[in-house]
Structure 1
Amino acid sequence: MIDSQNMKTPMPRETALVTGAASGIGAAVARRFWERGANVFMLDRNVDGLRNVLSDADGCGGTVNTFQADVTDGARLGDIFAEIHRLGGIDHVVHCAGVARLGTVTEMDEATFDLVMNVNLKGTFLLAKRAMPCLVSRKGSFTAIASDAGTQGASGYAAYCASKHGVVGLIKSMALDHGPQGVRCNAICPGFVQTPMLDQLFADSPSDRGFYEKSVPLGRFARPEDVAELAGFIASQAGAYLNGAVIALDGGSTAGYFSAA
């Protein structure tokens, strides 16, 4: 399935693919790119969400296309990148799709652990595998939205931390493997971000939300737009020497011990 706004033969302009683009961070990243005139491909499983975000792109300077897909479906991703190649290729991938499930190793069942690892880690691998030939040809960039849970542990987030640590390691290796080919690979590690996924995560434990929010020195969670601005910077000429970077975007919460006044 492909929907479009301003669909036409792509012009030779900056082009980006954004996963998880139906809401939250992914939607904000997609908007950031089209607002600067880029062509944008938005990918997500949620068709209605994609179309809702797409409706905001009316009048933007570039082409905006949507694909329905699950990042764990390698064959589907292969078909999508064949279509992207036909439409002219891409310069940047920003991988925002992900899931979070709570639980210790004794509490979590195997199926849930597999879900988190498949979406967050294997999905990154499958996307990078299909995207890399396009990115090599355009000397582009691959940015993964990891997490502060990819650089430290968190009580009750065993599978999520494991998957995001894996994403950080994968990105570092990709930076070494594909930097010589002109492709820059980086990871953004936000703390909690005000998204629908966060609301779902804390739906049954509002006190936990308050606890984590107070642990941020800047006194608030990140907004999706905060992440989008950094993703846009990494994919710009201003970020042209960033490769293998793991960037904390957490208001200072991983800087050290902090005691709220």
Structure 2
Amino acid sequence: MTNSQKSKNIDEVALIAGGASEIGVHTAMALTERGARVAIFDHNSQAVTDVIAQLKERGARAIGLVGHAHIAADVATATRETVSQLGRITTVVTSSSLRTPGEVHHLDESEWTRCIEANLTSAYLVARNTIPHLLQGGGSFVVVSTTASVAGLQGSPAASAAMHGLVGLIKAMALDYARQGIRCNIVSCGVVDRMTENPDDGTNQNTFQLSRTPLGRAGTAIDAANLIAHLTSQEATFTSGAVQVLDGGMTAGYLNAKEG
């Protein structure tokens, strides 16, 4: 029996917070391909409807849940509905990619709070609500973030602080729940097409980051989804507490300018 066949034999229920994003959609497709039942949780009601239609056309069992990951009541409802309609949650994927520009002395407190809530508090709330279900039989928890979780992002201290916090959260969770069969990992993305909520924020950060990417191109949502699918699969049962960087080599080191 192949590893892929083993994965299909697992009774998998996945809750994907931010599931109507490009990465969320492709992740859902990858997980349903191996037989998972999937709950798409996102604040964009029309996008949720569209994603569910796509998944059902492929023969997948999926439900749509509308709400905000940084609002405790919404996350609690989404978790409860997922378990009620699909069964015990075994796989959790949540995305944190909001970038709030502004140096500290220019950054309004409300914008700081919004960034922390959208990126860090949302992951905490998703974890707080879903971990009790993962504890019932093990599972996998993955946060999708950006390279601001492993390196400072000039001009975006709020995002850098929030996403570095995600690394600490995931590493602590990996330690806390390892003996209960729960694996926790984080995927830190470089320039990935249509990942960020506000890619054109006037700072040209994506253009600059792409210029520092050794592979010379942006990643795709499929690249991210493939890595997430691996981390949540039976092929990655010894991977936990890891920061998996998906950035085309951008954070490997300084890229010298090409001569001539």
Relative distance call for 1:257 and 1:53 in structure 2 (3 A) is same
Of 229-238 and 78-87, more deviation after overlay is shown by 78-87
- Equivalent position of 1:72 in the other structure: 70
1:127 aligns with 2:126: yes
Question: Could you tell which deviates more after superposition, 115-124 or 33-42?
Answer: 33-42
Q: 1:21: which partner in 2?
A: 19
Whether the 8 Å contact between 1:23 and 1:53 is mirrored in structure 2 is no
Letter in 1 for 2:214: P
Deviation, structure 1 residue 136:
1.2
Q: Is the 8 A contact 1:214 1:260 kept in 2?
A: no
Q: How many equivalent pairs are there?
A: 249
Q: Within 2, Cα distance between the matches of 1:59 and 1:48?
A: 17
d(CA) in 2 for partners of 1:18, 1:256: 32
CA distances 1:124-168 after superposition (whole Å, capped 9, x unpaired) = 111100000111113101000122111111210100000000001
Q: Which moved more, 1:132-141 or 1:32-41?
A: 32-41
RMSD: 1.8
How far apart in 1 are the matches of 2:167 and 2:50? 31
Identity percentage of aligned residues: 33
1:188-218 per-position Cα deviation (integer Å, ceiling 9, x unaligned): 11112110636x4226455x54332110000
TM-score, normalisation: structure 1:
0.90
**2:32 corresponding residue in structure 1:** 34
Instruction: Tell me which residue corresponds to 1:43.
Output: 41
- Paired position in structure 1 for 2:234: 237
Deviates more, 1:13-22 or 1:154-163: 13-22
| TM-score calculated relative to the size of structure 2 | 0.90
Letter of the 1:246 counterpart: V
Identify if the C-alpha distance between structure 1 residues 95 and 221 changes in structure 2 by more than 3 Å, giving closer, same or farther.
same
CA–CA distance in structure 2, aligned partners of residues 218 and 12 of structure 1: 36
Structure-1 separation of matches of 2:15 and 2:80: 13
- What is the CA–CA distance in structure 2 between the aligned matches of 1:16 and 1:120, rounded to whole Å? 20
Unpaired segments ≥5 residues, structure 1: 1-10
Q: Deviations for 1:204-249, whole angstroms, at most 9, x for unmatched residues? A: 455x543321100000121111110000000111011111011111
For 1:254, which of 235, 245, 251 is the aligned residue?
251
In 1, are the aligned partners of 2:15 and 2:89 still within 8 Å (CA)?
yes
Are the counterparts in 1 of residues 149 and 165 from structure 2 also a CA contact under 8 Å?
Answer: yes
Which contiguous aligned blocks of 4+ residues in structure 1 show a shift greater than 4 angstroms?
none
Asked if 1:96 is matched to 2:89, the reply is no
Distance in 2, Cα, partners of 1:12 & 1:149:
34
2:216 matched residue in structure 1: 219
Q: Read off the aligned partner of 1:231 and give its amino acid letter.
A: I
Is the CA contact (8 Å cut-off) linking 2:38 and 2:63 kept in structure 1? Answer: yes
Name the CA distance, whole Å, in 1 between partners of 2:203 and 2:169.
Answer: 32
**Alignment partner of 1:146: what SS?**
strand
1:192 partner letter = V
Moved more, 79-88 or 63-72: 79-88
Residues 70, 98 of structure 1: alpha-carbon distance in 2 compared, 3 angstrom cutoff? farther
> Which residue in the other structure is 2:6 paired with?
none
Given that 1:34 and 1:40 are in contact with CA atoms closer than 8 Å, whether structure 2 keeps it comes out as: yes
Q: Deviations over 1:24-78 (max 9, x none)?
A: 2222212221233211100000001111222211343431101001111112222
